[in-house]
Amino acid sequence: MGTDIYIGLDNGRVYKTTHQAENWYATAELPFTGGISKSIVALVGSTPIVLAGTDGDGIFKTEDWGATWVQKNSGLPANARIIQNSFFRDEISGYIFVGLQSGGPYRSVDGGDSWGQVSMPGVTGCDVRSVTRGEVSGFLYAVVCSGAVFQSTDYGDNWTPFLNNGLKPWDNVSGIHVTGIFAHNGFFVATKSSGMYKFSKDLAIIEGAPDVYYSSLQDAYNSAQSEDSIRALAVLFYSEDLFFDDPGKSVVLRGGYGAGFVTNPDATSVAGALTVSQGTVVLQNMIVGSLTISGQGTVYAENVVVR
């Protein structure tokens, strides 16, 4: 926000400091119109222009360092409840994103004067908690309260589900931060109920190819040669079904590995279905939602649980 620092309080007032937090000054009162709550829950901008999001009266904007505030709810539902700390200003496009309770994200292409909802497929009754941009990929990423992550490659016009393996479904996600997608292990998701998650493509490897990582077990199987062994981290793969159908392939799928794929004291979980219709698969340390063996498929199992 430039050299000034702004904070919002539960009483609906916004304060700023221009002296490295030595002294704080109240800005003008926001012209609340009623709403559910006057709490200031989110701020974004660069002085003299700042946006303030409230927990029940939408969004307010100042263009004069807080001397005056104007309500900017065009396109927002009545009594809009802004998600805490959900503002994101994309420095590349200049667009501003914000999450609303049970809806969103909403996007402004005119500096916060008006808003429009952008669609995320399959997201209903669940709010968008955070939006950010990957430093390396240049794409936008958003996380919703269900624990799902979405990606946009066109400044937020369209969103597609991203890699969600490892996150617990319907976890209480609070934020996302990307310091370089898949670069330097810098893709992080914070939750309110089960700590911090790190997204990575290194969820599975094929023994003998330590520098090649896979984000899904299906991709690892498709890339494996006959007699290869696949090692999988002890995470929950909840967003994919597995189809092993190569008649000339015999592979070992070992789950439960910790970081570095050295030891496997735990188990890997696959919430979806595993179908083996051709070839041979040896399963070790796995938990699967269902297991179907058909056609010419053969399965050998060790420490495997079928839900």
Residue 10 falls in which region: left (phi positive, over 0), alpha (psi -120 to 50) or beta = alpha
Could you give the count of Cα atoms lying within 13 Å of 40 in the half-sphere of its Cβ?
21
**Residues forming beta bridges with residue 41, ordered by sequence position:** none
Domains and CATH numbers, the chain: 5-199 (2.130.10.10), 204-306 (no CATH)
Integer Cα distance of 138 and 219 in angstroms: 24
Instruction: Please give the chain's pLDDT, 307 residues, in tens.
Output: 557 889 999 999 999 998 778 889 999 999 998 767 789 988 898 778 999 999 999 999 999 999 999 999 999 998 899 988 889 899 889 999 998 887 768 999 999 999 998 888 766 666 777 888 876 556 788 877 766 778 888 889 988 877 655 555 545 555 555 443 333 334 666 666 666 666 666 788 999 886 788 878 999 999 999 999 999 988 777 667 899 999 999 999 999 998 778 888 899 988 889 999 999 999 999 999 999 999 899 999 999 999 8
pTM: 0.65
